[in-house]
Structure 1
Amino acid sequence: MPVNPPDTIDCARRFSFYLDRLLTARPALAKQLAAELDQPLRRAQMERFADWAKADSPDALIPLLRQLRQAVMARLISRDLGGLADLDEVVGTISELADFAIEQALRVGRSHLAHYGEPIGDESGEVQELIVIAMGKLGGFELNVSSDIDLIFIYPESGETNGSRKLSNHEFFNKLGKEIIRIISEPTGDGLVFRVDMRLRPYGDSGPLVMGFAALENYLITQGREWERYAWIKARAVTGDADGLAQLARPFVYRKYLDYGAYGAMRELHSQIRREVARRDMADNIKLGPGGIREVEFIAQVFQLIRGGREKRLQLKSTRETLALIAELRLLEPEAVQELTEAYAFLRNLEHRLQYLDDQQTQTLPGDSASQAKIAESMGFADWAAFLDGLNRHRRHVTRHFEQVFLLPTEGAADHPLTPLWRDILDVEPTEALAELGFSDPQGVVRQLRGLAKGSRYQQLPVGNRKKFDTLIGPLIEVAANTPNPDATLSRILSLLEAISRRSAYLALLSEYPQTLHRLASIYSASSWVSGYLTHHPILLDELLDARVLYATPDWPQLTAELEQQLANCDRDIEAKMDVLRHFQHAQTFRLVSQDLAGMWTVEALSDELSQLADIVLDAALRHAWLDVPGRHRDVPKFAIAGYGRLGGKELGYASDLDIIFLYDDDHPDAPELYARLARRLSTWLTSATAAGGLYEIDLRLRPNGSSGLLVSTVAAFENYQRKEAWIWEHQALTRARFVAGDATIGEAFERIRHEVLTQQRDQALLRDEVTGMREKMFETHPPLDEDVKYARGGVVDVEFIVQYLILEHSHRLPELTANSGNIALLAVAAEAGLIDPKLADGAREAYRHYRRLQHMVRLRDAPLTEPSDGLIAHYELVRTLWQQVFGQEVRYA
């Protein structure tokens, strides 16, 4: 759309008394504005605005900076009100002006103090630079047009200057800080550049104007308050050591765990603001009033405080960028984020129009009708009433979402009806009440509750933790009572509560989200194994918050991309990467087990998902462990992982070990040592227990020559071994093997070798004797007991041996048997080919399914099978019959 500068400027002057006065007083500025209105006034033009190098004294710089601000404001007001600039341009330009002014003031202020020399650090012996930290909206690069700028001054090291008139570094930087403030904020005939607010510095107005790194770090660790964590989210170094500042401040702002305690702190801060708004009758304040700018910022920042330590992408400065990422991560519904984003843009545009009127730092709606008419028209409304309707619609959206995120009936809420039961547990024996609730052993429940109340862990809890703990007991007794096994469920939940009692963030999560208690009770009731898993990894409580995520079918490509992003965010922090892998694996396992308990998966399908998860983790661990290998000669290793056993057959359970081998194909002279080093590192990555727990146990004994063999093998050596040296039992193992992760070319070679080895023609009698002999050797370590569904005669291992024998005996003329499609499918292939009786094959397939389901149930109950059912015995008998047909001999027992 063509720009008509005179019309655009005249329009802007109608809506801005400040612009009208400015252009009337400075006709040359009006002429320049008309000539350049079609382009934003950004950093490059600011640098060309004057010969800044010649402005080498405060007296020379002060008027130039104020004239620059006038030019920036004239361009911004005209472009914004004329529809030529969007919100990004407005806040970006004014933020660039503030950064530029700070840099120029620092340059001239430093020159003004040159007679003191340079400040030298005691530790490094190097010249020290002042770090000017932008807080608030300037820190987020989203300053408003008439804003104060919130600054903090920091310097790295103590020491003294090296000039003829020596000062301590603290004194020097204190003088420099005062000079910067004066240059920017001192009023002159041209006004000022920005008002400077230093109240966010440590100790506020009573604290020193400048502070060293060590003092700042000590303050944040020992005295930093929750509201300061909120403020420091946006901290940005405009000058000086930005990396050093980030490393110092990040641990204060962002916790390594999910910090749900941030809700309470943010809620209290908001309550203070609301009380102040009410006291000062500020309901018309679009920043601090209900549904205002501050509430949108609080919504964005509470998610940053809670999750920013784990999800580093949330460590952003900009409110709108943070909201967009919140939508991407599905922390809020995209529709909610869209409403918040639209409201934020509306409110920020309105804020600017209020400030354009008279260049005043205000966010309050005008009371006079003339100004109201100007504001309504400048916002695109026909009149004030229509404008108020639009404004109130956005404010209602903000208020609704704010209350959904923050609302919790805490201080004023009535106690839960069962709270007195816990409060009086040491004085009263509430067995009758517990029996009425459905507990079968109320005296046992009372003993556990009393043991908990008398225990040193509970007695030594901080007051805040104990208060949260006490409020949770009543609701937890209630939800446990509504499960099929209330006694066991409550016992398991109390174990969890005791385990997390010193972690206020987890207690806060359960308090902030009462709906999680029902899901928690359901899961703890259904499976002792899952309850133990969650108690051991309480960080997974976060997974209970959103049923949509918890019960969503895994989107493995998307999850893989998210995992890679999280690993990339760790840079070269190995421990952080290992924790990311563990958090990812634990979270996906917990989602799968929750879906399993809800009946969403068959055992076979669940095993496929768990195997896919292992594949993803192994691939990621391999690639990132390689980056930790010193002296590596290529970016991508020519290295692969092959899976055997349950991993190879895609039959993983929740706690299965991973049988794997490592292969490489690289003729570089250092390859053997480098890949051996990679294998050792990879093993460490997979098996080490970190603060985030364990990942997988691995078994490497299926590699060539077993435990005595090399940790890694070349593809050629592996092929030679399989063809010339491998035992029959090793070829049996190869029937359930597949390429899992790493170099695809090596994976193709592995699959080729596997196929060629399995399709070799063998001596039938020798093969039969080897396989049956191997089965009998197992009796020494695993007696074939009927209550052991895996090793019983006719059980899991017998089905697997039958299939393995059929593959090794017949795949030279029936290569379909080499497909890695699982025992159930391969039994059908063998039956269709006439190798085994179809009825026996169908029975064995059903028996194997039954065994898998039974093993799965035993794992979830975390209790062994005590007495086999008649149906299980019948399955054993059928498989034994098939064994006799295949091997031509009676089933032998230990």
Structure 2
Amino acid sequence: MNTEQLRKTLGASQYAEQVLAKHQPLLEQDYAVDRFLTPLSTQQIQHTVQITLQDIQDEAEWMRSLRILRARLMFRWIWQDANQLTDVVTLTRELSDFADVCVTAAKDFARAPLVAKHGEPVGYNGKVQDLIVIAMGKHGAQELNLSSDIDLIFAFDEQGETNGRKCIDVQQFCILWGQKLIYLLDHITADGFVFRVDMRLRPWGDGSALAISHVALEKYLSQHGREWERYAWIKARIVTGGKEGDELLEMTRPFVFRKYVDYTAFEAMREMKAMIEREVQRRHLEDDIKLGAGGIREVEFIVQVFQLIYGGSKLELQDRQCLVSLNHLDEAELLDSKAVAELEDAYLFLRRVEHAIQALNDQQTQSLPTEPELRQRLISTLGFASWPDFMAFLDEKRAKVIYQFEHLIKEKEPDPLVESFSQLEQRLNEVLDDQAKNLVHEFWYGHALKKLPAKAVQRLKTFWPHLVEAVLQSDMPQVALVRLMPLVESVMRRTVYLVMLIESKGALQRLVKMATVSPWICEELTHYPVLLDEFLSMDFELPKRQDLEDSLRQQLLRIEVDQVEDQMRVLRLFKKSNVLAVAASDVLAESPLMKVSDALTDIAEVSVNAALHLAYQITAKKHGFPLDAEGQRCTLDHIAFTVIGYGKVGGIELGYGSDLDLVFIHYMDEQADTDGLKPISGFEFAMRVGQKFVSLMTTQTLDGRVYEVDTRLRPSGEAGLLVTSLKAFEHYQLKSAWLWEHQALVRARSIAGERCLRDKFEQLRCRILTQPREQAHVRAEVLKMRQKMKDHLGSSNEQKKDGIFHLKQDAGGIVDIEFMAQYAVLAWSGTNKDLAHYSDNVRILEDAAKTGCLSSNDATALIQAYLRERAESHRLALANQSMQVSASDWHDTRMTVCKLWQRLIDPAAAFALESE
């Protein structure tokens, strides 16, 4: 052995002296093959353990052999560390790999005797159950230090029973299995131990069952998981358990990483920090380089708080390793580069000091030694001339950590520019009327508040000044407060939202602005507080179609086909959260009207597509697959079914409260039976798909419904079949349909289903619309239908006299423009087929100008009037107001529309507007 390196090793560690005295021949053998000088790969460590334990059946011999190997490897690691032949990252990775291999070996050795006695553990799903071992803490993060214990949690996939003569349930088998694993590694013999095993991080901690099922763990985390456990589970990693273990870990991710920006992590960290500080004072651990001020734990906390806040949306922050995630914070610009560099430097030095402390006597401690001899060993190992020099350097590193930590988690101090709470209340009272004051008084002194837990009341009191300040800064403070009070009342038990709004001033200001503009948004958030999760993390960009499809697909993939209630919940929250995102972009980012309508239509189409595939899948699972009209077997990829969108969804012009006008068309062999265990005819199969689709979309649940669906535009209306074959639809449209049904077809397009069938429908639609028609007949029929709508839906004569204009239904309104576009298609597309290409009014009018059917000036005038009226209708929908507006404000726009209506449709309409 290298004499100088040996001297440094023994000088660094009394434990190394003991190992050398006991195992010198083995250590010399290890040194001879360079095991002290080169890094060990994961495979090399695995091979070394396998060779050491090969063919050993005796438990005592197995334990002895592994403990001696551990001592030899510890001597090697101390040698490398003392002589700076390794670095912190390499050393901690090798230690963690060794722990993984030992855990796996102990699990495998412990299994055979249990199986011999009780048989194999078989779950109710028929699968033999494995013991899922979850590594937590530094072991989970592959950051073990020289004398770490290992934090483990034992789990299994599914309950059941063993299949032996002495039958026990799966949980009891796994408990016995885990107990033996712990004994094999943790029990101290004459040769020491392998790893101390700590199980206290399991659900309910000490005193609870040692092994837990997947279902029980999921229930625990969702119902009882505490904030500190989220920190702990960041570093969780599956050591053994295969596919079931990976699925279990994936289940825990939403508990740890919320999909919204989660500012509650700040408060949780403050509470944990206070708890640790109390423990440090109680146990006099001020010189503990892990728990003391500026120690390792504070660096980890800085990283973890950002992981918990942003990890749900920034997946790169979900890495378990502290240094890796620290550098991701730099890349994501959540911490500046200088701070990251200082924290990384301090962390690496603190971890090296930790290793030097633990090398002294193989003890799990992070406290600086007090004995002069041990201090001298420590500073010699670390390369310092004196203890004061070392402490000065250490304190410099810790001071940088303290600065970053305190800067990050310090409590929000009152802004000196903001008035005191009493002044805020006084100013608030000055802008509130008596009714609003009573509302506030009833809130604070009502029964609901008296039933709240003390912590919830305290959080509410902390939140209130922030709300009042934001409200007073708005344009309409009373309106904002009155609209937000029901929302505050609905979430005051879910105080996580209050904390998030306290921590994120910008989110609160946005919420107040939304409230002043849209009571509809406030009502949605009040009725469905879960939408706040989305709102608080929105970037206020309109959602993209591909992102919508990917998001909904991923959510539905996690749900079994027969879990209909869960499917409906996902569909409802998907629709509501994304419509809310569009509204937020509309209000706060002032997104253009056409893009807002496109986004709302995309949300509807993605929802319809998903619901159709679910309905088809559910029906096929029960009855098998039908044949299509050409005799080919339908599958999940060939569904021979399409949904036709009419009206606003067909015209790509959805608003916030729009329902969906839908027609269902199939291309199945109606006479042939399906190929399942419960066969039904293709006709009945298509009907059941349609019925299931309507049920998925419209059933009222606690989460509301996805959309209202109106199917009355199908052939023969309410008297007709819910689902029509393509052939029957074609026959009806060509032989029996009224002209108003062709008028409706102008704004129809296929929005879901199989591409081939959708193309067939589009070709049929074009053929129907481009039939030659007499213009006089079209004009008369359009005018007759328009008059019916005015009579039933327009303003009354009294309202007109009072200066009321119904933006949609009265003369010069939206429907007049829609009817003129539909007239253009029906009257002129026989000779100008391009007019039948689009289903939206704007492009129809543009094409009418391109083909010369309308002058460019007339088309532009109608488009501008249409967009102005639709923009106002959007604003009114957000404000929960009716479409009735002041006629005087719309005189010029209406005159433009009415003059064109007179010229195109109804010459007798001249001066009608002036006579109102």
Q: TM-score range by the shorter chain?
A: 0.7 to 0.9
Which position in structure 2 is the counterpart of 1:756? 767
Q: How much has 1:847 moved relative to structure 2?
A: 2.3
Alignment partners' CA distance in 1, 2:7 and 2:728:
82
Which position in structure 1 is the counterpart of 2:478? 487
Q: How much has 1:465 moved relative to structure 2?
A: 1.7
Which position in structure 2 is the counterpart of 1:609? 599
Change (3 A) 1:117 1:616: closer
Q: State the AA in 1 paired with 2:539.
A: L
Alignment partners' CA distance in 1, 2:863 and 2:115:
88
Q: How much has 1:806 moved relative to structure 2?
A: 0.9
Q: Say if 2:841 is the partner of 1:851.
A: no
Q: Tell me if structure 1 keeps the 8 A contact 2:257–2:307.
A: no
Alignment partners' CA distance in 1, 2:140 and 2:899:
76
Which position in structure 2 is the counterpart of 1:425? none
Which position in structure 1 is the counterpart of 2:659? 657
Q: Say if 2:880 is the partner of 1:874.
A: no
Q: Tell me if structure 2 keeps the 8 A contact 1:142–1:318.
A: no
Q: State the AA in 1 paired with 2:405.
A: T
Q: Give per-residue Cα distances to partners, 1:321-364, cap 9 Å, x unaligned.
A: 99499979989579799779957984796477547845553446
Alignment partners' CA distance in 1, 2:392 and 2:449:
58
Q: How much has 1:491 moved relative to structure 2?
A: 0.8
Larger mean CA deviation between 368-377 and 844-853 belongs to 368-377
Q: How much has 1:194 moved relative to structure 2?
A: 0.6
Q: How much has 1:240 moved relative to structure 2?
A: 7.5
Q: Tell me if structure 2 keeps the 8 A contact 1:793–1:891.
A: no
Q: How much has 1:593 moved relative to structure 2?
A: 2.0
The alignment partner of 1:890 has SS state of helix
Q: Give per-residue Cα distances to partners, 1:709-730, cap 9 Å, x unaligned.
A: 4444444444444334433222
Change (3 A) 1:145 1:727: farther
Unaligned runs of 5+ in 1: 378-382, 423-429
Q: Give per-residue Cα distances to partners, 1:485-544, cap 9 Å, x unaligned.
A: 222211112121112222222233223334433222222112222222332333333455
Which position in structure 1 is the counterpart of 2:584? 594
Q: State the AA in 2 paired with 1:193.
A: V
Alignment partners' CA distance in 2, 1:688 and 1:353:
62
Which position in structure 1 is the counterpart of 2:525? 534
Q: Tell me if structure 2 keeps the 8 A contact 1:376–1:387.
A: no
The alignment partner of 2:831 has SS state of coil
Alignment partners' CA distance in 2, 1:89 and 1:606:
53
Alignment partners' CA distance in 1, 2:163 and 2:649:
66
User: What RMSD, in angstroms, separates the aligned Cα atoms of the two structures?
Assistant: 5.2
Match among 781, 786, 789 for residue 778 of structure 1: 789
Which position in structure 1 is the counterpart of 2:630? none
Alignment partners' CA distance in 2, 1:500 and 1:398:
33
Q: How much has 1:801 moved relative to structure 2?
A: 0.9
Q: Tell me if structure 2 keeps the 8 A contact 1:417–1:474.
A: no
Q: Tell me if structure 2 keeps the 8 A contact 1:15–1:375.
A: no
Which position in structure 1 is the counterpart of 2:509? 518
Larger mean CA deviation between 742-751 and 329-338 belongs to 329-338
The alignment partner of 1:49 has SS state of helix
TM-score, normalised via structure 2 length: 0.78
Which position in structure 1 is the counterpart of 2:103? 102
Which position in structure 1 is the counterpart of 2:644? 642
Change (3 A) 1:154 1:108: same
Q: How much has 1:685 moved relative to structure 2?
A: 3.3
Change (3 A) 1:841 1:492: same
Q: Give per-residue Cα distances to partners, 1:49-104, cap 9 Å, x unaligned.
A: 1354x422321111221234346557777899999989787555544433443344
Larger mean CA deviation between 876-885 and 620-629 belongs to 620-629
The alignment partner of 1:642 has SS state of strand
Correspondences of 1:261-272 after superposition (within 5 Å): 263-272=266-275
Q: How much has 1:257 moved relative to structure 2?
A: 9.4
Which position in structure 1 is the counterpart of 2:629? none
Change (3 A) 1:389 1:244: closer
How many residues are treated as equivalent by the alignment?
864
Q: Tell me if structure 2 keeps the 8 A contact 1:260–1:509.
A: yes
Which position in structure 2 is the counterpart of 1:185? 186
Q: Give per-residue Cα distances to partners, 1:546-590, cap 9 Å, x unaligned.
A: 6xx433354543454344434434565554454444444333333
Change (3 A) 1:389 1:628: farther
Alignment partners' CA distance in 1, 2:548 and 2:614:
17
Alignment partners' CA distance in 2, 1:879 and 1:691:
44
Alignment partners' CA distance in 2, 1:101 and 1:577:
43
Q: Give per-residue Cα distances to partners, 1:842-890, cap 9 Å, x unaligned.
A: 4333322221122122212212255523242333333222222112532
Change (3 A) 1:35 1:768: same
Alignment partners' CA distance in 2, 1:252 and 1:597:
30
Q: Give per-residue Cα distances to partners, 1:383-420, cap 9 Å, x unaligned.
A: 979986995698368627xx53x44348x999996655
Match among 534, 552, 555 for residue 541 of structure 2: 552
Give % identity: 33
Q: Say if 2:401 is the partner of 1:395.
A: yes
Larger mean CA deviation between 603-612 and 28-37 belongs to 28-37
Change (3 A) 1:885 1:12: farther
Which position in structure 2 is the counterpart of 1:61? 62
Change (3 A) 1:384 1:176: same
The alignment partner of 1:769 has SS state of helix
Which position in structure 2 is the counterpart of 1:585? 575
Q: Give per-residue Cα distances to partners, 1:416-464, cap 9 Å, x unaligned.
A: 9665589xxxxxxx8x75454x44x2x2332112222343222322222
Match among 783, 787, 794 for residue 812 of structure 2: 794
Q: How much has 1:810 moved relative to structure 2?
A: 0.9
Which position in structure 1 is the counterpart of 2:780? 769
Q: How much has 1:203 moved relative to structure 2?
A: 6.5
Match among 459, 462, 481 for residue 468 of structure 1: 459
Q: Tell me if structure 1 keeps the 8 A contact 2:790–2:810.
A: no
Alignment partners' CA distance in 1, 2:219 and 2:854:
76
Q: Tell me if structure 1 keeps the 8 A contact 2:746–2:839.
A: no
Alignment partners' CA distance in 2, 1:19 and 1:577:
61
Which position in structure 2 is the counterpart of 1:318? 320
Unaligned runs of 5+ in 2: 626-633, 675-681, 797-803
Larger mean CA deviation between 491-500 and 249-258 belongs to 249-258
Q: State the AA in 2 paired with 1:395.
A: V
Which position in structure 2 is the counterpart of 1:706? 717
Q: Tell me if structure 2 keeps the 8 A contact 1:645–1:737.
A: yes
Q: State the AA in 1 paired with 2:530.
A: I
Change (3 A) 1:169 1:733: closer
Alignment partners' CA distance in 1, 2:702 and 2:79:
56
Q: Tell me if structure 1 keeps the 8 A contact 2:326–2:344.
A: no
Alignment partners' CA distance in 1, 2:603 and 2:314:
23
Q: Give per-residue Cα distances to partners, 1:271-304, cap 9 Å, x unaligned.
A: 2113434565656655334455434544565577
Alignment partners' CA distance in 1, 2:169 and 2:901:
90
Change (3 A) 1:875 1:331: same
Q: Tell me if structure 2 keeps the 8 A contact 1:297–1:319.
A: no
Larger mean CA deviation between 288-297 and 720-729 belongs to 288-297
Match among 812, 830, 849 for residue 830 of structure 2: 812
Change (3 A) 1:618 1:398: farther
Q: Tell me if structure 1 keeps the 8 A contact 2:750–2:762.
A: yes
Which position in structure 1 is the counterpart of 2:51? 49
Alignment partners' CA distance in 2, 1:317 and 1:803:
56
Alignment partners' CA distance in 2, 1:701 and 1:239:
57
Q: Tell me if structure 2 keeps the 8 A contact 1:184–1:193.
A: yes
